[in-house]
Structure 1
């Protein structure tokens, strides 16, 4: 293993592999090192389908070795720190590695400690998460016999922001098929203020919520889980209209603040001070998510502890030979593989232009991201949007005879289940723009 590389990449996820592969395509003589400790690479977008029993978990995994581009040195190790003034990355076992250019794309990590009780509850019993163990999610959904099904998410940024509600729509379908939906209340509790920020997508999803009779609870910040009593504790982060409480059992529907609740359900709730505890018979959640500690404790982050890069060029705002992309980057858009697909060519162009002419390229990232919102078995909406939450559907969808991807369509389901995994493994991971 070398101790110096022209380009050093941190991360063997979607972003890191794509950047390394595209750099190799641009220049076969580049000396590229890629730091990644994991043996296995997962296609995580399919985990929603695994959790709903309609995709094989084993099919989402490939050996990391098979994905490292030819000619790229795989440094199977953990990055532990940075000295950007000396162009140096320290590792756990391989010593210090220096670089001319650095691309930082380690993804994010789950921090169960941010919600007391989560570590004891997650992936056990009736508490599940597609983010950590989608096979357990499917067991929970299959074994559910009725009651209150809570779907929730943390107040931190999360990857694939639509995932906590996608599994909810699929679970609703399964509950109807298994005959338990009539004795089930489904609650979606979110710290957010809306079901989706893109107006065209929000309209469709609210129709889905109405059709599926789902109770939405906004401004609900998950603060603790009591696994023994099966209670999810929340703080409501918005004052309730005078005369009514959002969650107390005996509240009248006409007194519920509709900005906080939609389609109210009289589920069992505990009240302790300013906290509201929703009793659950099953719960699916997304765990809190942060940048890895070696990033958070580095000089590369902003005040919120995410990688501090320019929103258009993804060049670091302080160190001109460092770039960052993917889930770890402080970009005000959704953290998805589709976003990475658009970020990679810009980072690659900037690195190559810097190498060749000591300036960055002219390409600019507009914040594009995409969220394939599965709304049931055989149905999907495709949310494509930019930094301003403008709906910007790909014109190529018309080739699939899809005129409006903001509406549910079975062809979009086929795209999600079959076409996107194929494109991922056979095109994106091999450095092709799709």
Structure 2
């Protein structure tokens, strides 16, 4: 009770004296500034008008590196505090592919130079322990993420800008260190890298894709047909699509040993992605159940075999539950790429293959084709209410319905 009375008396005494500002020590003022008020820095403007103004600044007729850098220079020279720099950088990241500078490290350094310098660096241990100025650091990390997406390796100038802006222990600097750690290790891991600039010519692009799929130095590329147009007598124009094929000597030997009782199948199209371009190819293969005809050696003996297959690389402790060599998908005899995946064009490919593979003249060929990217599958027609006669095919016709047969 005594302490309570003392507190009430002190409260009345303070109310009678009035609110007189007390002079606090300099150290107390510094601590209050750290924990209560935000330190001085550039104000962040998140209004829609600012974003729209930046979007209009990049919407130009002339879109090249010089005009893109000009927008950044105008923004940096307009205001010393660079208000709205986050909105500018986010808009610039979206417009970089339109200007063709998404793979230029100098432009990314120019974007990081937009941040005000020595403002977002933590001044004490508590600020460095937490995410100091989180929105600005996340924006810088997004810039580095886009560099990672397009495969742009940062340089020493990038590190200098990040340290000058956010400090050595910031998240953008850690992201920079991870990029420099992993990029050199993954740069040469792919034995068949895709070219940086894809060729616009469909024939040349088909050659690059088929060589990438085959991965055989002895495989022979053949251009069976070039893209051309033919004007008929009635005035109609007939377009001929390109036709490029590849076949290795081993595939020719496998095709020569194919059993004539089993057909070969033209199957496709199968997609292949080269960076942002998707192309389609077709294969000539056999069924997994098809057996290759074997000629018995008259000198073969069951007690003394001619060869022994010993796998000395395996050990008793190896896991033999799954073996890639035991997966049967059927041998592939040839591959091709064409601009038109119809039976007429693919039939011409089979006729051209007969020049180097005469056995195709004795084999039945089945076409197992699906609708390509430009081909639209016909919609399934709903059954009408009027009854129809039962015209269900037999079991043999139902099995061979998806296939079409062409005997050469």
Radius of gyration: which is bigger? 2
Question: What TM-score results when the alignment is normalised by the length of structure 2?
Answer: 0.20
Greater strand share, structure number? 1
Question: What TM-score results when the alignment is normalised by the length of structure 1?
Answer: 0.19
Greater helix share, structure number? 2
